[in-house]
Amino acid sequence: MARKAKSMRHVKEILRLRYQNGLSVREIARSCGLPTSTVGDYVRRAEKVGLSWPLPAEWTDAVLMEKLMAVASADPDSWPPGPVKPLPDWPGVQEQLKRKGVTLKLLWQEYRQAHPVGYGYSRFCELYERWVKTLDPVLRQVHAPGEKLFVDWAGQTIPIYQADGTASQASLFVTTLGASHKIYAAAFADQALGSWISGHTQAFEFYGGVTRALVPDNPKTAVTRPNRYEPVLQRTYREMAEHYGTVIIPARIKKPRDKAPVETSVQIAERQILAVLRDRRFFSVGELNQAIRPLLDQLNNQPFQKREGSRNSCFEAEEKAHLLPLPAAPFVLATWSEASVNIDYHVVADKHYYSVPYTLIHKKVDVRLTAATVEIFYQGQRVAAHARQHQPGRFSTQPEHRPKSHQKYLEWTPGRIIQWAQKLGPNCGRVVQHIMESKPHPEQGFRSCLGIIRLGKALGESRLEAACARAWHFGTCSYLSIKSILENRLDQQPWEQELALNSPAHENVRGSQYYTQTLDPLVP
């Protein structure tokens, strides 16, 4: 029943297009996706019946078919046209083609399994292409002067030969202006971020200005997360656009018509530049670009085929004055990365360690690297800046990034600690110096010496000086010994002869002289 209803719809559509729109048999066949022989048979049958359009309102499908079949029985030579072949579900076919690995041939095979008397493969493909053309008529876009710059990489690469005979592949960067279609092209060693940004800055210099918008495809150097509605732009690329006062409008994914001007320009560049250079051998990207430039100038001066002038003349007359001015300085390439602040308040960037304020320990920060500087940002605010270094594993530290305690610790040197002690008194200075000199490394005595100096701050400088004099006299120059003297107030008592001890000498063991009352000449 469904198949019969579809057949009747085809018959009515044939009659409508023939008698209302006046189309030919071939035009009707293309529109309905039917063989011309089938359409011709229906048209001839309708003419013999004397049908017109619109059909009488009271005619049902059964009445229409009865009229046509009646003529068929009276004139068997002109009928029957044969059954109308079932049309595939073209929207379903189109949707299936979006799936990976699905081809028209596979879908045709499935169609023939469901409809053994259906269309052959070539007719199936022809009808599908015809149906697709009726879906989305091409909109001819007209771009205002200075509005958009379209950007892309050419698919064809150029070999660059090395001294050892090997070759690397250089890529061609192509841009075109929306109004004048003036083309810029330059070769780069790769398609990395540095080449992408450099291609833009060179194009801006070539045109002598900047368009109000950039229309790239969706490479990772432009879009980190493609999305039809809110694509996430690469941070350095966005920063470059802000520097030049323009915006980035990526083309939709798998929509080459969004950047049709540069698609066409890429083909032109491949045919009129790369094809011309196909037999030449290049040994550097610079040498290649020297060969590209005259061909590029020739291309832009070449007259248009369907309009007056050339790309250059249209650019000078229509578009140049509408470009935004170039900034005072070109954009400096910077790369961004994310890092965690280590417990030593440093972050690593390009294998070198740079300090940040210690309050950011364990925080996530953004690191911006240029050829000369390293900048660190926290929540959008710059918190540190360093000159870029290239020594792996080394540290660049700014003193103000350290905690106060660390800053003071780094101020500790043997000479400064002895000076601090001497300000408290000569005996204190002599004890501290003795402790420093008695250690294999002076820093091993830092804690003891600073502890002794702090005793003076807590109990008074005069008592500390007396305690140091007693400790020096009895050979017990240590923090614990001087602390014991002060706690037991021995610094305020006369010296007594120390009893002899049959024990090994140790800085923390009082000797016999500790209890003697011999006066030291330095004691006041």
pLDDT tens digits, 291-337 = 999 999 999 999 988 778 899 999 999 899 999 999 988 888 888 88
Instruction: State the residue for tokens 């011999």.
Output: 518
Q: Residue 502's pLDDT band (boundaries 50, 70, 90)?
A: very low
DSSP-based three-state secondary structure for 121? helix
Going by C-alpha positions, the residue among 144, 152, 143 that lies closest to residue 216 is: 152
Q: Beta strand pairing status for 395-396 and 352-355?
A: parallel
State the DSSP string of 192-229: SHHHHHHHHHHHHHHHTSB-SEEE----TTTEEE--SS
pLDDT at 500 over 50: no
pLDDT digits (tens, 9 = 90+) for 89-122: 888 888 888 787 788 889 999 988 888 888 888 8
Residue range 424-483, pLDDT digits in tens: 889 898 988 888 888 766 666 777 888 888 888 888 888 888 889 888 888 888 888 888
Q: Which helix (H) or strand (E) holds 386?
A: strand 381-387
In-domain check, residue 497: yes
**Could you say which of 133, 159, 176 is where a domain stops?**
133
More confident site: 496 or 138: 496
Residue 337 has what pLDDT?
Answer: 86
DSSP secondary structure letter of residue 509: S
Same domain, 94 and 20: yes
344: domain range? Answer: 335-401
| Torsion angle, alpha carbons of 493, 495, 499, 501, to 10 | 90
Sequential DSSP letters for 326-350: PPSSPPPP-EEEEEE--TTSEEEET
| pTM (predicted TM-score) | 0.50
Does 280 share its domain with 372?
Answer: no
Q: Does residue 374 lie in a domain region?
A: yes
Q: Please say which residue of 133, 158, 179 terminates a domain.
A: 133
Residue 509's contacts (CB-CB under 8 Å, 6 or more residues apart) are: 476, 501, 503
Distance CA 428, CA 141 (A): 90
Where does 34-166 show beta strands of DSSP type E? Answer: 148-161
Q: Please give the pLDDT value at position 441.
A: 62
Give residue 208's pLDDT band: very low, low, confident or very high (50, 70, 90): very high
Which CATH number goes with the domain that contains 285?
3.30.420.10
Task: Say if strands 167-177 and 335-340 run parallel, antiparallel, or are unpaired.
Answer: unpaired
Q: Tell whether 143 is covered by a domain.
A: no
Pair (215, 74) in one structural domain: no
CB 481 within 8 A of CB 508: yes
The reply to whether 112 and 257 lie within a common domain is: no
* Residue 386 and residue 313 in one domain: no
Which helix (H) or strand (E) segment holds residue 30: the answer is: helix 25-32
314, 441: one domain: no
Closest to 187 in 3D by CA, of 86, 289, 309: 289
Residues 129 and 39 placed together within one structural domain of the fold? yes
> Looking at the domain assignment, is residue 287 inside a domain?
yes
Query: Residue 406 domain-assigned?
Result: no
User: Chain centroid to CA 35: how far?
Assistant: 52
Tell whether 425 and 395 lie within a shared domain: no
If we measure between CA atoms, which residue out of 491, 467, 477 comes closest to residue 433? 477
Q: Quick one: what percent of the chain has pLDDT higher than 70?
A: 82
Same domain as 190, residue 271:
yes
> How many domains does the chain fold into?
4
Alpha-helical regions (H) of 58-114: 61-74, 90-97, 104-114
Instruction: Check whether residue 288 and residue 363 sit in a common domain.
Output: no
| Residue closest to 334 by CA, chosen among 202, 197, 219 | 197
Q: Is there a single domain that holds both residue 318 and residue 339?
A: no
Residue 521, domain member (yes or no):
no
pLDDT at residue number 78: 42
**Residue at 364 is within a domain:** yes
Q: Is residue 341 located within the same domain as residue 424?
A: no
Q: What's the pLDDT score for residue 301?
A: 93
In sequence order, the 6+-apart residues with CB closer than 8 A to the CB of 278 are: none
Nearest 10 degrees: Cα torsion 349, 354, 355, 359 = 0
Residue 330 in any domain: the answer is no
At 352, list the tokens: 């070198």
Q: What residues pair up with 159 in beta bridges, in sequence order?
A: 169
d(CA 425, CA 452): 12
Q: Which of 10, 19, 4, 72 is nearest to 38 (CA)?
A: 10
pLDDT at 385 over 70: yes
Which of 301, 322, 343 lies at the terminal end of a domain, its last residue?
322
The SS3 assignment for 304 reads coil
Q: Is 124 exposed, middle or buried (0-12, 13-18, 19+ CB in 10 A)?
A: buried
